């Protein structure tokens, strides 16, 4: 686009498809803290961020890697790990007196009952109010890993060998770690 012999270049992040500026503006106009949830191939990350004109200020951060310190020896990217990581962030937020936030999923695909919403349920149960629809949150048996335990029991051969080596099932480990987090 040319305007008066000057070339206007669109925002780099918009051009490369990394930021939806219309959605970001709506979130910022609410003037509330944002709960940012991101997932990678191995972990789930959550942050509570406050907008500043000079750049966003990250108030709290937690990743599913922190679960290994609490005794989690399973995948750090499944539903139970996402929920526990969200619960951990919710407890940290409660200590910092963060009472409410709005959800910011960025450009990630939103799938009801998925890892992102398991994280959200953990944050909500940790004490932070986030506007949401109850229908998108996963059920309790999926959150504590019962569906994984059942599937591992049916698996044959070397499939889920790491899970079979563990001395106790994923749902029992889940409950123990949940108690550690809630007890903090």
| Predicted pLDDT of residue 73 | 86
Q: What confidence score (pLDDT) does residue 63 get?
A: 94
5 part of a folded domain: no
Quick one: pLDDT at residue 51? 83
Task: Tell me, yes or no, whether 1 lies in a domain.
Answer: no
Q: Is residue 12 part of a domain?
A: no
Domain around 40: 20-183
Residue 6 lies in a domain: no
Q: What pLDDT does residue 12 have?
A: 66
Closest by CA to 90, choosing from 48, 132, 138, 56, is 48
* pLDDT at residue 26, rounded to an integer: 67
The predicted pLDDT at position 46 comes to 95
**What is the tally of structural domains in the chain?**
1
Q: Determine what percent of the chain is predicted with pLDDT higher than 70.
A: 82
Distance, CA of 103 to CA of 37 (rounded, Å): 8
Q: Report in angstroms the alpha-carbon separations of 69 from 60, 114, 143.
A: 18, 24, 20
| 11 assigned to some structural domain | no
Q: What CATH number does residue 25 fall under?
A: 3.30.420.100
Look at residue 7 and tell me if it is in a domain: no
Measured between alpha carbons, how far is 140 from 154 in angstroms, rounded to an integer?
21
pLDDT, tens digit (0-9, with 9 covering 90-100), for 115-128: 999 999 999 999 99
Each residue's pLDDT tens digit in the chain (184 positions)? 555 666 666 666 666 666 666 666 666 767 789 899 999 999 999 999 988 878 778 999 999 999 999 988 888 988 999 999 999 999 999 999 999 998 888 767 778 888 999 999 999 999 999 888 889 899 888 888 887 777 777 777 776 777 767 767 787 888 888 888 888 6
Residue 42, in any domain of the structure? yes
Residue 118 lies in a domain: yes
Question: Looking at residue 9, what is its pLDDT?
Answer: 62
Residue ranges of alpha helices (H) inside 46-169 are: 79-95, 115-125, 140-143, 146-154, 161-165
């Amino acid at each position: 686009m040319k305007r008066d012999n000057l070339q206007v270049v669109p925002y780099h992040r918009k051009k490369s498809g990394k930021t939806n500026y219309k959605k970001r503006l709506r979130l910022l106009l609410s003037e509330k803290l944002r709960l940012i949830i991101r997932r990678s191939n191995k972990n789930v990350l959550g942050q509570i961020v406050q907008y500043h004109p000079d750049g966003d200020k990250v108030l709290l951060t937690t990743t599913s890697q922190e679960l290994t310190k609490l005794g989690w020896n399973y995948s750090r990217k499944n539903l139970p790990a996402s929920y526990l990581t969200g619960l951990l962030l919710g407890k940290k937020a409660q200590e910092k007196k963060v009472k409410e936030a709005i959800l910011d999923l960025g450009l990630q695909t939103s799938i009801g009952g998925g890892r992102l919403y398991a994280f959200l349920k953990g944050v909500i149960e940790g004490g932070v109010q986030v506007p949401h629809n109850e229908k998108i949150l996963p059920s309790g048996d999926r959150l504590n890993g019962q569906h994984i335990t059942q599937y591992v029991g049916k698996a044959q051969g070397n499939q889920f060998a790491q899970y079979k080596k563990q001395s106790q099932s994923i749902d029992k480990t889940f409950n123990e770690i949940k108690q550690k987090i809630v007890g903090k």
